[in-house]
């Protein structure tokens, strides 16, 4: 709950929390634009792409690989008579990574299931808190007033 709360605040105040992206770019000479040639070249640079990703790169001459807080762009360019593969890696930092995890951007199925499970747990905690608050007969009137004010504020702020 603490991580979701912190990332919620950081999403509301991006200018305070996010830093400048760290960008690294380099070019590799490419003999021919074929899947086997690209796979060998990428392996020499310690980069592994699936056969589908390599096929996309060969067909479209560009491919973008996204993950929370990071991007890797691949471009095949022909300059004069030389063909090269440009790889640009961008790291947006820890806060950006946490924010994208908070929003379930560029995440896998396991993270989405874990996020949904946490949400269900938070709903249960909230529901039991409301139920326990309503059981106290002495404070029920004050609690209902506070609960009503919270609900009206939430609805008002959503418009």
* DSSP conformation letters of 78-143: EETTEEEEEEEEEE--HHHHHHHHHTTTT--HHHHHHHHHHHHHHHHHHHHHHHHHHH-TTTHHHH
The pLDDT value given to residue 88: 95
The verdict on residue 3 lying in a domain is: no
pLDDT of residue 74: 94
Higher pLDDT, 8 or 76: 76
32 and 76 fall within a common domain: yes
Task: Taking each helix axis as running N to C, give the angle between helix 140-158 and helix 109-135, from 0 to 180 degrees, rounded to the nearest 10.
Answer: 140
| Mean pLDDT confidence for 31-46 | 88
**Which of 40, 63, 91 corresponds to the end of one domain?**
91
- pLDDT reading at 37 higher than 80: yes
153 and 114 belong to one structural domain: yes
CA–CA dist 39, 119 (Å, integer): 41
77 & 33 share domain: yes
The pLDDT value given to residue 118: 86
Domain match, 70 and 123 both? no
122 and 148 assigned to the same domain: yes
Whether residues 118 and 80 share a domain: the answer is no
> In this predicted model, what pLDDT tens digit does every residue of 100-144 receive, in sequence order?
888 888 888 898 898 889 889 989 998 898 888 888 888 888 888
Average pLDDT, the chain: 87
In a shared domain, residues 56 and 114: no
Q: Is residue 119 included in any domain, yes or no?
A: yes
Q: pLDDT for 44-75, tens place per residue?
A: 888 889 999 999 999 999 999 988 889 999 99
pTM for this model (two decimals): 0.66
- For residue 37, is it within any domain? yes
User: Among 4-8, 88-92, 143-147, which is the least confidently predicted range?
Assistant: 4-8
pLDDT confidence tier of residue 24, bands split at 50, 70 and 90 = very high
- Verify that 59 and 115 share a domain, yes or no: no
Q: What integer pLDDT is reported at residue 31 of this predicted model?
A: 83
Which H or E run contains 73? strand 70-79
Question: How many domains are contained in the chain?
Answer: 2
The answer to whether residue 84 sits within a structural domain is yes
Residue 61 lies in a domain: yes
**Looking at 91, 123, 144, which one is the last position of a domain?**
91
Domain containing 142 equals 108-158
Q: Are residues 27 and 87 in the same domain?
A: yes
Asked whether residue 87 falls in the same domain as residue 48, the answer is yes
Are 87 and 130 found together in one domain?
Answer: no
Residues 86, 29 share a domain: yes
CB 62 within 8 A of CB 76: yes
pLDDT digits (tens, 9 = 90+) for 142-155: 888 988 998 899 88
């Amino acid at each position: 709950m603490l991580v979701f709360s912190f990332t919620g605040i950081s999403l509301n105040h991006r200018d305070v929390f996010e830093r400048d992206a760290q960008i690294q770019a380099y070019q590799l000479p490419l003999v021919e634009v074929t899947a086997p040639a690209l796979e060998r070249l990428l392996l020499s640079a310690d980069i592994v792409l699936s056969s589908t990703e390599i096929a996309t790169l060969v067909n479209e001459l560009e491919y973008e690989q996204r993950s929370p807080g990071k991007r890797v762009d691949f471009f095949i360019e022909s300059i004069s008579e030389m063909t090269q593969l440009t790889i640009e890696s961008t790291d947006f930092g820890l806060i950006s990574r946490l924010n994208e995890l908070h929003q379930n951007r560029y995440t896998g199925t396991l993270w989405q299931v874990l996020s949904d499970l946490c949400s269900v747990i938070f709903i249960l905690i909230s529901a039991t808190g409301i139920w326990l608050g309503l059981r106290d007969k002495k404070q029920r009137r004050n609690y209902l007033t506070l609960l009503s004010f919270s609900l009206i504020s939430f609805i008002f702020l959503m418009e």
